[in-house]
Structure 1
Amino acid sequence: MKMKKYTADTMPEAMKLIRKELGEEAVILSSKAVYSKGFLGLFKKKSIEVLAGMDSMESPAPILEKPTIQQVQENPNSIAIKKELEDLKQMVKSIGRQKPNRTYPDELEALIHHLKEQELAEELITSISDELFVHMKKNEDHISIEMQQKLAKDYLKSQLETFPFGGISYNKKYINVLGPTGVGKTTTIAKMAARAVLEKKKKVGFITTDTYRIAAIEQLKTYAGLLQAPIEIVYNEQDLQQAMQKFEALDVVFIDTAGRNYKEVKFVEDLQELIDLKENTETFLVLSSTSKQRDMEVIIEQFKEFPIEKFIFTKVDETNSIGSIINLMVKYKKGLAYYTDGQEVPEDIMGTSLDELLNLFFKGDSL
């Protein structure tokens, strides 16, 4: 086997050198990080040292050459080795497609660590880190933590500023609240309704389609009683139309949809058949900030046919990381209506702005 050692700043750069000299059939035998003094000894510079090789049996044999007895006997082993080399080759190609693991100055470590702890998306962390690094180079390799936070906030603001922020607009009568079971949807609706009554002096009513959980109906009835608001339970589209007629004189009507496992397509389709309010409806999707981001993405994908304008994130007080809020807003281009941080009605709900979200993300002076 032909072997050679390569040194480069990143693994993708090393891959380019290896492919150029050894071709696509090359395999990685080992790799490690090596460090050397940077400019004036201020920073350690990280490089990647890779040992690569190319098996000679991958070279094509002359067409007219007849195989020897020894070659025929080795054939089974050759097949196994070739398969292993093919697997390694695919691994090399996969590594080449990955984004480089850039090395940044120690001065940026605290902020980068915070971004990772908040579970911000890797591509956002990389973009922010690159911005900070460029700024350092333009300003004699020094940047205060305050400036780091400012630049990081400015970058995130540029990604989020086109999305709507804030709670109910009160431009539409029906507030359609979607969400899976267990996210605190009914309590969140009660908080929204209580604010509409106490702060905006609105006459409100409730419609619930959650006929699967008796506890949820009783919970909403309790809140409706406290707010002296009417409530209707609907089982089908006809019931819904009748409820809307009864509530014609009200200012705002909150629709509590059934809390189901919306990973099941059938439940989403059932909901689509029941709820078809496009002209005079604001639609919010409630998600729990304690859920895994991948699980939330599955829910969002299932609701993609609904005209969701903004997210509502619950249980912010029960998690140490809120990067998924930003990640999902950026990925799905949706705004943020509220986040909730407790069970008290109506206190523990925040109609947030972009600046408030970023302040929450960076937690003030925690860095």
Structure 2
Amino acid sequence: MAALDATPRASAGRDGEPAADEFDRLPPELPVPERPEPPVESAATTPAPAPAPAAATPPALQVVAAPEQDPAIVAMREELARMRRMMETQLEQLSIERLRGSPARAAVLDALTGYGCSESLAREVAAGIDPTLAPDQVHGPMHAALARLLPIVHGEPIEDGGVIALVGPTGAGKTTTAAKLAARFAARHRARDVALVTTDGQRAGALEQLQALGRRLGITVCEAQGPDGLQAALEQLQDYPLVLVDTTGHAPRDRAVFSQILWLRAAKRVRSLLVLPANAHPQDLGEVIRRYRPAKPDGVVLTKLDETCQPGSALSVLVRHELGLAYTAGGQQVPGDLEAADAHRLVQSLEKTRRAADNPLVTEDRHAVA
């Protein structure tokens, strides 16, 4: 039996027989006594075997509170962190001063700052510019260097087909972007090859907006409520080459974002595109990217480029987080105000945007009334 086999060897033998390990512990200078032969016992005199000892009950686990950190150690860590930040700031200032020693690189720093680019991106571009160039000759090399740093998605994600969910914060333009992408795909293929699904039942007019577009372009539009309703809608639309899902927008710290990401990861055949507004604060964009990073989006759709005078700030965020740009959008026209991301065209538009910001009357003729 397992209980008998588990009996320790250190226990005493039968009829007073010493255990085997007791012989091993005898001093070497003493004679080792002979092991006595066990007496022959009849079946009648054989005592009943002793019951197996009960298994020892494991001690209950107790939660031990972690010892409080020494206040002196905590203060020392905070002081070291402050010193590190101060040293990093001083090194950045020294780097900028050294770059500004060249008029060409100083011109690059000023131009990129005017585009809204971050200081780190501006320094990286300026460091690669020939310092012997004249300030009026730096725009070509500067634009080329900036274009090389922009992360661009090669090939349009919608051309791969399948199911693509548009995710992002509230007010990013997901519904309009879904309509533009659907119209773009329908113009290249057939209107019956693409379908739109909206899960945004909270925003007034979201479904009506897509339905009006669907009737105009001949695109199938349907509504889904909750994960179960969405899954049922996707099963009904599985024969469509492309299905675009317009999801509900949430604030970056909303707990619903986590549920949305869990659904995207569970639905293995669903890809995603992250929709970001170019006119948002860079720190807010970075927080959105951090929250949606576990969803592994195929790329970013940068919207509202016509609503910011410094689009370089949003581009700097994408460079810092190494997130590929798939599409750019500026305006409400469907599908005209949507383009596949092109680094060189995007960099060229930065200069036009800056000049338009310096002279806002130039753009008023688009909306002027005769």
The normalised TM-score by structure 1 is 0.67
Partner of 1:270: 259
Partner of 2:217: 227
Instruction: Among all aligned residue pairs of Structure 1 and Structure 2, give the percentage whose two residues are the same amino acid.
Output: 24
Q: Distance in 2 between matches of 1:277 and 1:230?
A: 25
CA contact (8 A) 2:116 2:310 kept: yes
Partner of 2:226: 236
Q: Distance in 2 between matches of 1:92 and 1:247?
A: 58
Superposed, which structure 2 residues align to 1:303-322 within 5 Å?
Answer: 303-322=292-311
Q: Distance in 1 between matches of 2:194 and 2:304?
A: 25
Deviation per CA, 1:112-141, whole angstroms, max 9, x where unpaired? 222101121211211222222xx23xxxx3
CA contact (8 A) 2:264 2:271 kept: no
CA contact (8 A) 2:264 2:295 kept: no
Superposition CA RMSD, Å: 2.8
1:97 partnered with 2:88: yes
Give structure 2 stretches of 5+ with no counterpart: 1-77, 359-370
Q: Distance in 2 between matches of 1:207 and 1:286?
A: 16
Selected match of 1:114 from 111, 114, 123: 111
SS at match of 2:301: strand
Bigger radius of gyration among the two: 2
CA contact (8 A) 1:262 1:268 kept: yes
Selected match of 2:206 from 192, 197, 216: 216
CA contact (8 A) 1:237 1:275 kept: no
Q: Distance in 2 between matches of 1:284 and 1:306?
A: 9
Partner of 1:30: none
Q: Distance in 1 between matches of 2:188 and 2:276?
A: 25
* Letter in structure 2 aligned against 1:250: Y
Alpha-carbon shift at residue 89 of structure 1 (Å): 11
SS at match of 1:283: strand
Selected match of 1:336 from 319, 325, 335: 325
Give structure 1 stretches of 5+ with no counterpart: 1-86
CA contact (8 A) 1:165 1:353 kept: no
Distance 1:108 1:180, change over 3 A: same
1:253 partnered with 2:243: yes
Deviation per CA, 1:300-358, whole angstroms, max 9, x where unpaired? 11111102121111111111111123212212211111111111111111112222222
Distance 1:232 1:144, change over 3 A: same
Distance 1:211 1:365, change over 3 A: closer
1:323 partnered with 2:316: no
Deviation per CA, 1:72-101, whole angstroms, max 9, x where unpaired? xxxxxxxxxxxxxxx999988754332123
CA contact (8 A) 1:112 1:125 kept: yes
Q: Distance in 1 between matches of 2:88 and 2:180?
A: 47
Distance 1:275 1:233, change over 3 A: farther
CA contact (8 A) 2:150 2:343 kept: yes
Alpha-carbon shift at residue 200 of structure 1 (Å): 2.9
* Letter in structure 1 aligned against 2:269: N
Q: Distance in 2 between matches of 1:90 and 1:252?
A: 50
* Letter in structure 2 aligned against 1:298: E
Superposed, which structure 2 residues align to 1:283-302 within 5 Å?
Answer: 283-302=272-291
Distance 1:313 1:90, change over 3 A: closer
Q: Distance in 2 between matches of 1:152 and 1:96?
A: 29
Partner of 2:134: 143
Distance 1:180 1:364, change over 3 A: closer
Distance 1:94 1:330, change over 3 A: closer
Partner of 2:47: none
Partner of 2:123: 126
Alpha-carbon shift at residue 253 of structure 1 (Å): 0.5
Give the aligned length: 272
SS at match of 1:206: strand
Partner of 2:179: 190
Deviation per CA, 1:245-284, whole angstroms, max 9, x where unpaired? 21122111110000222322x1112213444465433311
Distance 1:212 1:364, change over 3 A: closer
Q: Distance in 1 between matches of 2:248 and 2:309?
A: 29
